[in-house]
Chain A
Amino acid sequence: MKQYNRRDFLKVSGTVAATSALAACGTKQTDIDLDPMGHHTDEVPTDKMTYRTNPKTGDRISLLGYGWMRLPTKREGDGPNNEVIDQDEVNRLTNYALAHGVNYFDTSPAYCRGKSEESLGIALAQSGYSRDKYYIATKLSNFSPSQWSFEEGVKIFENSLRYLQTDYVDYLLLHSVGGGGMQNLSQRFLDNGLLQWLMEQREKGRIRNLGFSFHGDVAVYDWLLAHNDEYHWDFVQIQANYIDWHQADGRNVDGSYLYSELEKRGIPAVIMEPLLGGRLSKVPDHVVAHLKQRKPENSVASWAFRYIGSKPNVLTVLSGMTYMEHLEDNIRSYSPLEPLSDEEQEWLEGETAALIKSYPTIPCNDCKYCMPCPYGLDIPGILVHYNKCVNKGNVPESQQAANYEKARRAFLVGYDRSVPRLRQASHCTTCRECVPHCPQNIDIPRELQRIDQFVEKLKQGTL
Chain B
Amino acid sequence: MLRKTRLCLAIIFWVLITWLLVDFTSTAHAYLGWMAKIQFIPALLSVNVGVLIFLVALTLLFGRIYCSFICPLGVMQDVIAWFRRKKNKYSYSPAHELMRPIFVLLAGVALAAGFGWLAGLIFPYSAYGRIVGTLVAPLYKLANNVLAGIAEHYESYAFYEVDVWLKSVGALVIALATWCIIAVLAWRGGRTWCNTVCPVGTVLGMLSRHARLKVVIDANECRNCRKCERNCKAACIDLENHEIDYSRCVVCGDCLEECKFGALAFGYKPMIDKENIIYAQRKKEQAAPPKKETAEPIDEGRRAVLTSTALLAGAALAQAQDKTTDGGYAIIEDKKKPERAHRIVPPGALSAANLREHCTACQLCIDSCPNDVLRPSNKLNNFMQPEVSFERGYCRPECNRCSQVCPTGAIKPVTIEERTAIQVGHAVWVRENCIPANEFKTCGNCARHCPTGAIQMVPEGEGLHRNERGRWVDRDNRPIDMNAVHVIPVVNEEKCIGCGACENLCPVRPYSAIYVEGHDKHREI
Q: Give residues in A with beta carbon < 8 Å to B.
A: 79-81, 109-114, 141, 143-144, 146-147, 367-376, 378, 409-410, 413-414, 416-417, 421-423, 426-433, 437, 449, 459-461
Structural contact, A80 and B157, CB atoms closer than 8 A = no
| Contact, CB under 8 Å: B449 / A417 | no
CB of B215, distance to nearest CB on chain A (Å): 52
DSSP majority for the A interface?
loop
A369, B322: Cα distance in complex, Å: 13
CB-CB under 8 A from A147, the residues of chain B are 324
Q: Are A80 and B507 in contact, with the CB atoms below 8 A?
A: no
Residues B324 and A144 in contact, CB atoms below 8 Å apart:
yes
B324 touches A376 (CB 8 A): no
Is A460 in contact with B442, judged by CB distance below 8 angstroms?
no
Q: Which residue of B lies closest to A81 (CB)?
A: B328
Q: What is the CA–CA distance of A371 and B325 in the complex, to the nearest angstrom?
A: 8
Of residues B321, B326, B328, B449, which shows the largest number of chain A Cβ atoms within 10 Å of its Cβ? B326
Q: A372-B321, A422-B332 are in contact. Are A427 and B398 (CB under 8 A)?
A: no
Cβ-defined contact, A110 with B320, below 8 A: no
User: Please, could you name 14 A-B residue pairs with CB atoms under 8 Å apart, sorted by A?
Assistant: A80-B331, A147-B324, A371-B327, A372-B321, A372-B330, A374-B321, A376-B318, A376-B332, A417-B161, A421-B393, A426-B449, A426-B505, A429-B443, A429-B507
Within 8 Å by CB of A459, from B326, B398, B435, B445, lies: B398
Contact A417-B325, Cβ < 8 Å, known A427-B445, A459-B398: no
Distance in angstroms between the alpha carbons of A429 and B441 in the assembled complex: 9
**B330 & A375 in contact (Cβ 8 Å cutoff):** yes
**Cα(A224)–Cα(B320), bound, Å:** 32
**B318 CB contacts on chain A under 8 angstroms:** 374-376
Counting contact residues on chain B (CB < 8 A from A), the size range is 20 to 34
Question: Which B residues are within 8 Å of any A CB, using their own CB?
Answer: 152, 157, 160-161, 318-332, 393, 396-398, 435, 441-445, 448-449, 505, 507
Residues on A with C-beta less than 8 A from B160 are 413, 416-417
Chain B residues within 8 Å of A80, by CB: 329, 331-332
Residue ID in chain A nearest B449 by CB atoms: A426
Q: A111-B326, A421-B393, A429-B443 are in contact. List 13 more A-B contacts (CB 8 A).
A: A113-B326, A113-B328, A146-B322, A367-B326, A370-B326, A371-B327, A373-B329, A376-B318, A414-B157, A416-B160, A417-B161, A427-B505, A430-B444
- Are B329 and A376 in contact, with the CB atoms below 8 A? yes
Q: How distant is the Cα of A103 from the Cα of B319 in the complex, in angstroms?
A: 42
Looking across the interface, which residue of chain A has its beta carbon closest to that of B163? A421
Cα of A147 to Cα of B326 in the assembled complex, Å: 15
Interface residue SS majority, chain B: loop
Residue of B nearest to A374 (CB): B320
Please give me the residue from chain B that is nearest to A445 by CB atom: B442
Residues of A within 8 A of B321 (CB): 372, 374
| CB-based contact A372/B329 at 8 Å | yes
| Contacting pair A376 B330 (CB below 8 A) | yes
Assuming the A-B contacts A374-B319, A378-B329, A423-B332, are A430 and B443 also in contact, with contact meaning beta carbons closer than 8 angstroms in the complex? yes
A429 pairs with B320, CB closer than 8 A = no
Min distance, Cβ B29 to any Cβ of chain A, angstroms: 18
- Say yes or no: A374 contacts B327, CB within 8 Å: no
Report the Cα distance A111→B328, complex, angstroms.
Answer: 10
Q: What residue in chain A is nearest B162 (Cβ atoms)?
A: A416
B178 to chain A, nearest CB (A): 33
Q: Are B329 and A460 in contact (CB under 8 A)?
A: no
The CA-CA distance from A429 to B318 in the complex, in Å, is 11
A416 / chain B contacts, CB cutoff of 8 Å: 160-161
| A114→B448 contact, CB < 8 A | no
If A429-B442, A431-B442 touch, whether A373 touches B435 (CB-CB below 8 Å) is: no
- Which among A367, A414, A429 has the highest number of chain B CB atoms within 10 Å? A429
In the bound complex, CA of A111 to CA of B325 (Å): 6
How far apart are A6's CB and chain B's nearest CB, in angstroms?
A: 15
Task: Give complex CA distance A146, B324 in Å.
Answer: 9
A409 contacts which chain B residues (CB < 8 A)? 157
Residue of A whose beta carbon sits closest to that of B151: A413
Bound complex: CA A223 to CA B398 (Å): 55
B441 near A431: Cβ-Cβ < 8 Å: yes
Residue contact A423 to B329, C-beta cutoff 8 Å: yes
Query: B501's closest neighbor in chain A, by CB?
Result: A426
A427 CB, min distance to chain B CBs, angstroms: 6
For A431, the closest partner residue in chain B by CB is: B441
User: Given A375-B507, A430-B442, A431-B320, A114–B397 Cβ distance below 8 Å?
Assistant: no
CA distance A437 to B325 in the complex (A): 11
- Contact residues in A for B445 (Cβ distance below 8 Å): 426-430
Assembly CA distance A147 to B325 (angstroms): 11
Contacts of A110 in B (CB 8 A): 324-326
A370 to B329, CA, bound (A): 11
What residues of chain B lie closer than 8 Å to A437, measured between beta carbons? 323, 326
> By the criterion CB–CB under 8 Å, are B157 and A413 in contact?
yes
Q: Are B442's CB and A432's CB within 8 A? A: yes
Q: In the complex, which of the residues A111, A112, A144, A374 has the most CB atoms of chain B within 10 Å of its own CB atom? A: A374
Distance A203 CA – B325 CA, assembled complex (angstroms): 29
Report the minimal beta-carbon distance from A376 to chain B, rounded to whole angstroms.
Answer: 4
Q: Are B435 and A368 in contact (CB under 8 A)?
A: no
Q: Which of A81, A410, A421, A431 has the most CB of B within 10 A?
A: A431
Tell which of B329, B396, B435 has the most Cβ of chain A within 10 Å: B329
Instruction: Determine the chain A residues whose CB is within 8 A of the CB of B396 once the complex forms.
Output: 459-460
